[in-house]
DNA sequence: TTGTAAAAAATACTTTAGTATGGTATTGTG
DNA sequence: CACAATACCATACTAAAGTATTTTTTACAA
């Protein structure tokens, strides 16, 4: 690892530690660089903004999703596996990421045009896995064939994202997994009589 | 109207005019008070923050929703009217509110705990009208009776909010009405075979 | 080895939201 | 009316993100 990469990692870890300790808003960039023993300019060599640290962190989502995918029981019905996958994603968010950092991520997707695309790209694993499951569901006859798989993926991702947003907004006042699953279930089975 | 109210209105209109002209981020509070010919302290007497001006603006939603409700054709099926209502809400957002201010509202719901509750209260008309339509739909047999109406309302509101969020995030790159309607339609009819 | 490009450091600067203060004017109420 | 509360003004201030500049150090490739 080159020295530049090491510095970036150092800043990254110091920042995350401070964020978890005091909350994102209560941590200044000055504080981060002080803890890391570097200069402010150095911070901005590696990160375009304070929030870019959070964006960086969301690479861990991809890793996690891929791991879940590997561990899934491929003999179960596609919809069952979809449920499992969503549950795992929610648990990871609740337990490993936490409310504060989700809030900052969602804030950021609304502010920074550059990060936004990153975040979408970061959803790649999520998209890919859900799409795979939906196509399987369509082939199995578990799902409607009148919609394109990628259309349905975007609806499901949106429903997940919407629930995450509400969760962050209401400061975690409900169980993310439960609400996500109930909502996605409703989306799949429909509200009509 | 008392002098205080007049000052608040003045600040409000100056702020909105500047926001529409230059975009929210490019307008400073100093600029607003300069345009209004008041002092910065005065601004903060009336508004808790720069974003509170936007929150104030969202009262117009309630007025609009109530107007739409009155104009609706009460003989049409409930689901038809729901569709109409959502379409109207989206058009209003696209044409009267605009991308930038929606973005700021959604940003704010994630930052300010106080405004958040306000914003939810502001959704009151939206909630109330949708709930009314859903209950009618249940009584008509148009909708499933296995869910409570208020649960379904929260799903539909979330789907609308989720689509609005995505619209703001992707800088208005799709038609809000079309996407909202397609998505809510999917939610009502379900994805399953 | 040496030249160059990137990284890092130190430090000063700019911008802007929001706060604080201290004093004056307005307004509504007993 | 009197007086208390609120609105208002002017101005200075704080805090923090992000920028700019200059100099030094490091990495790496010809």
- Confidence (pLDDT) at A139: 93
Whether the beta carbon of B3 falls within 7 A of nucleic chain D: the reply is yes
Could you tell me if A38 and A10 are in contact, meaning their C-beta atoms sit under 8 angstroms apart? Answer: yes
- Residues B45, B99: one domain? no
CA dist A163 and A159 (Å) reads 6
- Residues B17, B80: one domain? no
Mean pLDDT of chain B: 89
Name the more confident of A33 and B108.
A33
- Residues B43, B75: one domain? no
- Residues A96, A70: one domain? yes
| Domain of residue B74, residue span | 54-189
- Residues B144, B108: one domain? yes
Mean pLDDT of chain A: 89
- Residues B82, B110: one domain? yes
User: Residue B36 has which token pair?
Assistant: 């209004």
- Quote the crossing angle between the two packed helices B149-169 and B78-92, to the nearest 10°: 30
Could you report the per-residue pLDDT of B130-165, keeping only the tens digit for each? 999 999 999 999 998 999 999 999 999 999 999 999
Question: Quick one: average pLDDT of A142-163?
Answer: 92
Q: How far is CA A87 from the centre of its chain?
A: 13
Taking CA atoms, what residue in B is nearest to A112?
B169
Give, in degrees to the nearest 5, the angle at Cα B107 between B181 and B30.
130
- Residues B37, B64: one domain? no
- Residues B130, B149: one domain? yes
Task: Identify the CA nearest to B111 among candidates B52, B61, B158.
Answer: B52
Question: Quick one: average pLDDT of B35-46?
Answer: 92
Pick from A173, A178, A191, A192 the residue to mutate for testing the B interface (most B CBs within 10 Å).
A191
Question: Quick one: average pLDDT of B100-119?
Answer: 77
A4, exposed or middle or buried, with CB in 10 Å at 0-12, 13-18, 19+? exposed
Contact A161 B158 (CB under 8 A): no
- Residues B107, B40: one domain? no
Q: Which nucleotide is at minimal CA–C1' distance from A30?
A: D16
Q: What is the CATH number of the domain that holds A111?
A: 1.10.357.10
A181 pLDDT exceeds 80? yes
- Residues A137, A58: one domain? yes
Could you tell me if A44 and A38 are in contact, meaning their C-beta atoms sit under 8 angstroms apart? Answer: no
Interface of A with B (CB under 8 A): 103, 106-107, 109-111, 113, 116, 141-145, 147, 152, 155, 158-159, 161-163, 165-166, 168-171, 183, 186-193
Quote the DSSP letter at residue B39: -
CA dist B7 and B36 (Å) reads 8
Contact B190 A193 (CB under 8 A): no
CA dist B15 and A154 (Å) reads 36
Could you tell me if B109 and B119 are in contact, meaning their C-beta atoms sit under 8 angstroms apart? Answer: yes
Question: Quick one: average pLDDT of A129-142?
Answer: 93
- Residues A169, A77: one domain? yes
CA dist A133 and A157 (Å) reads 13
Strand C: positions under 7 A of a protein C-beta atom: 6-12, 15-22, 26-28
**CA of B27 and C1' of D21: distance in angstroms?**
28
Name the more confident of A191 and A132.
A132
H-helix segments, B47-148: 52-57, 59-71, 78-92, 99-111, 113-122, 124-140
Task: Identify the CA nearest to A137 among candidates A78, A177, A95, A189.
Answer: A78
**Helix, strand, or coil (residue B143):** strand
Distance from CA of B193 to the nearest CA of A (A): 4
DSSP chain A: --HHHHHHHHHHHHHHHHHHHH-GGG--HHHHHHHHT--HHHHHHH-SSSTHHHHHHTHHHHHHHHHHHHHS-TTS-HHHHHHHHHHHHHHHIIIII-HHHHHHHHHHHHH-HHHHHHHHHHTHHHHHHHHHHHHHHHHHTSB-SSS-HHHHHHHHHHHHHHHHHHHHHTTT-S-HHHHHHHHHHHHHH-SB-
Q: What is the CATH number of the domain that holds B28?
A: 1.10.10.60
Quote the DSSP letter at residue B167: H
Give the confidence band of B101 by pLDDT, cuts at 50, 70, 90.
Answer: very high
Whether the beta carbon of B9 falls within 7 A of nucleic chain D: the reply is no
Question: Quick one: average pLDDT of A91-105?
Answer: 92
**CA of B27 and C1' of D14: distance in angstroms?**
21
A123 pLDDT exceeds 80? no
Considering chain A, what percentage of its residues have pLDDT values greater than 70? 92
- Confidence (pLDDT) at B24: 94
Could you tell me if A122 and A62 are in contact, meaning their C-beta atoms sit under 8 angstroms apart? Answer: yes
Strand D: positions under 7 A of a protein C-beta atom: 6-12, 15-22, 26-28
Could you tell me if B168 and B97 are in contact, meaning their C-beta atoms sit under 8 angstroms apart? Answer: no
The number of distinct structural domains making up chain A is 2
- Residues A172, A85: one domain? yes
Chain A residues with beta carbon closer than 8 angstroms to that of B54: none
Question: Quick one: average pLDDT of B16-38?
Answer: 93
Contact A191 B187 (CB under 8 A): yes
- Confidence (pLDDT) at B193: 61
Give, in degrees to the nearest 5, the angle at Cα B127 between B123 and B131.
175
């Amino acid at each position: 690892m080159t020295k530049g990469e090491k510095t970036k990692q150092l800043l990254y870890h110091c920042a995350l530690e401070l964020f978890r300790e005091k909350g994102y808003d209560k941590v200044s960039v000055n504080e981060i660089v002080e803890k890391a023993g570097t200069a402010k300019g150095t911070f901005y060599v590696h990160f375009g903004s304070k929030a870019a640290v959070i964006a960086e962190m969301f690479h861990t989502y991809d890793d996690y999703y891929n791991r879940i995918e590997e561990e899934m029981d491929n003999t179960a019905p596609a919809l069952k596996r979809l449920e499992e996958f969503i549950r795992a994603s929610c648990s990871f968010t609740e337990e490993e990421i936490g409310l504060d950092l989700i809030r900052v991520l969602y804030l950021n997707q609304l502010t920074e045009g550059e990060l936004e695309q990153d975040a979408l790209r970061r959803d790649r694993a999520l998209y890919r896995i859900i799409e795979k499951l939906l196509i399987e569901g369509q082939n199995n006859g578990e799902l409607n064939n009148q919609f394109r798989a990628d259309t349905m993926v975007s609806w499901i991702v949106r429903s997940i994202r919407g629930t995450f947003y509400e969760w962050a907004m209401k400061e975690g006042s409900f169980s993310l997994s439960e609400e996500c699953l109930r909502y996605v279930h409703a989306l799949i089975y429909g509200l009509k009589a």
